């Protein structure tokens, strides 16, 4: 295995088990192939870890192990089995079984939807182990079908070609249950891996505060998860909004699958909230779960403007003492950022805010404290009061 030297700053982070080295912290000339395995050392030739390197990527080295050990089929298998074992107690019909750095397999995401697997490769280094990984997963779960994707936007940053592959059979719709709610989703050419499993516990948590016949507005609804829980658990009056016709079609299917009714709107939430404001329609409970507005640090300030826009307008159409759940799924937007957005929006609207719950990604998307980026999904549920 080739060696790579990193500077003091990176060495300190690695000693604290942070799993990435940025390009500016690599001392050795970047003469490596995309995804090549490397042993990492500091300037004094002290061993720090084993990982893979990609000169094309800003995150140039990703650590696979902080121990000096061979990285081979056996290593990958032990990591996958460990990740699978962690899920045994929480495994519902649908579960994320491997969550990249959260399971010490950077660049690999695996979701299990009942008898089907959705596998995403995000880095050149992980693609090198593709055959081993698929072989281990198929032996472990014996799925009816596996949909494999080399994710386009991630692999572009890695300088390698995207790809997709079907192993076995993948039907048009894959069915599963989550906390007693039935879902149908598609895996091929889907958003992300097909479904937002990370919001599972939050979907359930919110139902605690929703009352029968409450008017619920599920913004950025995708397959309809939040709204559907509100309907199935509390028989609320639910309206769901998404910009994607496909998402709304899926949400409609999911309501029908559970034999319940909702109202569905294909619209840009930014515009739709303004329309509701004009029409003076009010809601008791509003969910704002937008896509990642800040995919990079440089997009943070425009992302915050987007958050402020939807939050200000949601506060105008929520009933007095009504609830709003605001989420961010970006690494770059923290809880404090969300609090600031809420407080500024409250000032503009002359409201006081009661924080009810802080919400995070579900436990099958592990948060490793040594790696601040592994906490990516944050939400705040709050109540809006007239002064
Ligand atoms: C993070 S997902 C929502 C996940 C969903 N709440 C769930 O629990 O499954 C974000 C959704 O926002 C939609 N979207 C993106 N931009 C939008 C916009 N400007 N207006 C409405 N929907 C939008 C996407 O189509 C996607 O379905």
**pLDDT tens across 25-41, in order?**
999 999 999 999 999 99
Instruction: Tell me: do 82 and 216 sit in the same domain.
Output: no
Q: Inform me whether the pLDDT recorded for 297 exceeds 80.
A: no
For ligand 1, the distance from its centroid to the CA atom of residue 242, given in whole angstroms, is: 6
| H/E element, 145 | strand 145-150
Same domain, 88 and 26: no
Mean pLDDT of the chain: 96
Q: What is the Å distance from ligand 1's center to 292 Cα?
A: 9
Q: Rounded to an integer, what distance in angstroms lies between the CA atom of residue 360 and that of residue 71?
A: 32
- What beta strand segments (E) does 283-317 contain? 283-288
In contact, 184 and 209? CB cutoff 8 Å: no
Residues 357 and 382 in one domain: yes
The enclosing domain of 235 has a CATH number of 3.40.50.150
Predicted TM-score (pTM) of this structure: 0.95
The CB density around residue 142, as the number of other CB atoms within 10 Å, is: 9
Does 190 reside within a domain? no
Quickly state the pLDDT bin for 387 (edges 50, 70, 90).
confident
- Helix H segments across 130-266? 130-141, 152-158, 200-207, 225-234, 245-257
- Regarding the beta carbon of 225 and ligand 1, being less than 6 Å apart is answered yes
What was the pLDDT predicted at 357? 98
Residue 243 in contact with ligand 1 by CB distance below 6 A: yes
268 pocket-lining for ligand 1 (C-beta < 6 Å): yes
Range of the domain at 48: 2-65
Report, as an integer, the average pLDDT of 172-191: 95
> pLDDT, tens digit, for every residue of 187-208?
998 888 899 999 999 999 999 9
pLDDT of residue 293 exceeding 90: no
Pair 170, 318 in one domain: no
356 CB less than 6 Å from ligand 1?
Answer: no
| Confidence (pLDDT) at 323 | 98
pLDDT at 331: 86
Assigned token pair, 200? 């599972």
Instruction: Determine which residue's CA is closest to atom 2 belonging to ligand 1.
Output: 291
Cβ(167)–Cβ(134) below 8 Å? yes
Is residue 184 domain-resident?
no
From the CA of 247, give the closest atom in ligand 1. 27
Are residues 287 and 207 located together in one domain of the fold? Answer: yes
Cα 198 from Cα 285, distance rounded (Å)? 21
237 alpha carbon, distance to own chain's centre:
27
Residue 181 lies in a domain: no
Do residues 236 and 305 touch, judged by C-beta distance below 8 A? Answer: no
Question: Do 146 and 270 fall within a single domain?
Answer: no
As a whole number of angstroms, the distance between CA 6 and CA 15 comes to 12
Domain identity same for 289 and 374 = yes
User: No. of H helices and E strands in the chain?
Assistant: 11, 19
Q: How confident is the model at residue 125 (pLDDT cuts 50, 70, 90)?
A: very high
pLDDT above 80 (res 227): yes
Helix (H, G, I), strand (E, B) or coil at 316: helix
pLDDT in tens, 61-104: 999 999 999 999 999 999 999 999 999 877 778 999 999 999 99
* Same domain membership, residue 217 and residue 234: yes
Taking residues 306-334, what's their average pLDDT?
Answer: 96
pLDDT at residue 35, as a whole number: 98
Does 183 map to a domain? no
pLDDT above 90 (res 298): no
Binding site membership of 367 for ligand 1 (Cβ less than 6 Å): no
Q: Is the Cβ atom of 37 under 6 angstroms away from ligand 1? A: no
DSSP 26: B
Query: Atom 20 in ligand 1: which residue has the minimum CA distance?
Result: 268
As a residue count, the chain comes to 387
Domain count of the fold of the chain = 3
Residues 30, 140 within the same domain: no
pLDDT of amino acid 192: 83
CB distance 250 to ligand 1 below 6 Å: no
Share above pLDDT 90 across residues of the chain, in percent, rounded to a whole number: 94
Do residue 79 and residue 61 come from a single domain?
A: no
Ligand 1 pocket, residue 289 CB under 6 Å: yes
* 231 and 313 assigned to the same domain: yes
Q: Distance, CA 358 to ligand 1 centroid (Å)?
A: 20
Tell me, yes or no, whether 61 and 79 share the same domain: no
CATH number at residue 144: 3.30.750.80
Q: In the predicted model, is pLDDT for residue 248 greater than 90?
A: yes
Report CA Rg, the chain.
Answer: 22
Note whether residue 369 is domain-resident.
Answer: yes
pLDDT in tens, 228-244: 999 999 999 999 999 99
| Ligand 1 within 6 A of CB of 269 | yes
């Amino acid at each position: 295995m080739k060696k790579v030297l990193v500077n003091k700053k990176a060495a300190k982070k690695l000693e604290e088990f942070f799993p990435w080295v940025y390009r500016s912290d690599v001392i050795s000339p970047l003469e490596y192939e995309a995804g090549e395995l490397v042993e990492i050392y500091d300037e004094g030739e002290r061993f720090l870890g084993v990982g893979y390197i990609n000169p094309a990527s800003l995150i140039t080295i990703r650590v696979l192990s902080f121990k000096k050990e061979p990285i081979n089929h056996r290593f990958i298998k032990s990591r996958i089995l460990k990740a699978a074992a962690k899920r045994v107690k929480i495994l519902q019909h649908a579960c994320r079984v491997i969550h990249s750095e959260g399971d010490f397999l950077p660049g690999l995401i695996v979701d299990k939807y009942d008898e089907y697997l959705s596998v995403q490769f995000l880095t050149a280094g992980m693609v090198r182990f593709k055959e081993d990984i698929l072989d281990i997963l198929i032996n472990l779960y014996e799925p009816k079908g596996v949909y494999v994707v080399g994710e386009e936007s991630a692999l572009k940053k890695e300088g390698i070609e995207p790809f997709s592959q079907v192993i076995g059979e993948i039907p048009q719709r894959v069915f599963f249950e989550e906390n007693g709610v039935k879902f149908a989703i598609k895996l091929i050419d889907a958003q992300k891996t097909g479904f937002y499993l990370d919001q599972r516990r939050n979907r359930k948590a919110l139902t605690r505060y929703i009352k029968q016949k409450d008017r619920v507005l599920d913004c950025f609804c995708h397959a309809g998860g939040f709204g559907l829980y509100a309907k199935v658990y509390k028989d609320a009056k639910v309206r769901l909004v998404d910009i994607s016709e496909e998402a709304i079609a899926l949400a409609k299917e999911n309501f029908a699958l559970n034999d319940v009714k909702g109202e569905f709107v294909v619209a840009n939430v930014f515009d739709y909230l303004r329309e509701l404001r004009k029409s003076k329609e009010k809601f008791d409970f509003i969910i704002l779960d937008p896509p990642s507005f800040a995919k990079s640090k440089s997009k943070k300030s425009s992302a915050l403007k987007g958050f402020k826009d939807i939050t200000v307008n949601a506060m105008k159409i929520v009933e007095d003492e009504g609830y709003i759940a605001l989420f961010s799924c970006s690494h770059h937007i923290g809880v404090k950022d969300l609090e600031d957005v809420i407080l500024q929006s409250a000032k503009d609207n002359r409201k006081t805010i009661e924080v009810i719950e802080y919400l995070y990604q579900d436990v099958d998307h592990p948060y490793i404290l040594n790696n601040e980026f592994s906490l990516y999904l944050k939400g705040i549920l709050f109540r809006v009061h007239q002064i």
